Amino acid sequence: MRINLSSVLVDDQAKALRFYTETLGFQKKHDIPLGEHRWLTVVSPEDPDGTELVLEPDEHPAVKPFKSALVEDGIPFTSFAVKDVMAEHKRLEALGVRFTQPPTDLGTVITAVFDDTCGNLIQIAQEIHTRKEKS
């Protein structure tokens, strides 16, 4: 068994595709029309055969209250790995991305949290291996 898909629940698939590709830099992998919505996935250019992120419509009535409750408390439900949180924060802020948490050093990991414009908060995280092992 392996994990091949993960989902983010988005309020607008076209807007989500723009944000996840043009702003974050992922690549579109599948885009299959399914009536009103699409089977729409993106992958990281660093791992094009890796886990696909499904940009899934959030139209189920239970989803919106769930999403807004998480956002109110600043909780990211999805996290991406980056090599350099500071650099990503700088790059994304310059593109107009709203951060609810700037880069924060938590000892073993540096994290930051931003708004994906589709109703979700996303965490970016950089693991720090070396600092403690070296000291």
Partner 1 sequence: MDDVCQAIADATRRAILDELVQRDGQTLFELCGRLTMKHGIGSSRQAISQHLEVLEAAGLVIAKREGRYKFHWFNGEPLKAITRRWPANGRRS
Q: Which spans of this chain sit near partner 1 (rule: CB under 8 A)?
A: 68, 71-76, 100-101, 104, 106-109, 111, 113, 121
CB of residue 122 to partner 1, shortest distance in Å: 12
Q: Which residues is 130 bridged to in the sheet? A: none
Please name the residue that has the structure tokens 């956002």.
71
What dihedral angle (degrees, nearest 10) is formed by the CA atoms of 6, 110, 102, 12?
Answer: -10
Nearer residue to partner 1 within complex by CB, 57 or 76: 76
Nearer residue to partner 1 within complex by CB, 41 or 123: 123
Q: Which residues is 9 bridged to in the sheet? A: 56
CB of residue 80 to partner 1, shortest distance in Å: 16
How many angstroms separate the Cα of 9 from the Cα of each of 20, 74, 103, 128? 13, 16, 24, 30
CB of residue 36 to partner 1, shortest distance in Å: 26
Nearer residue to partner 1 within complex by CB, 33 or 107: 107
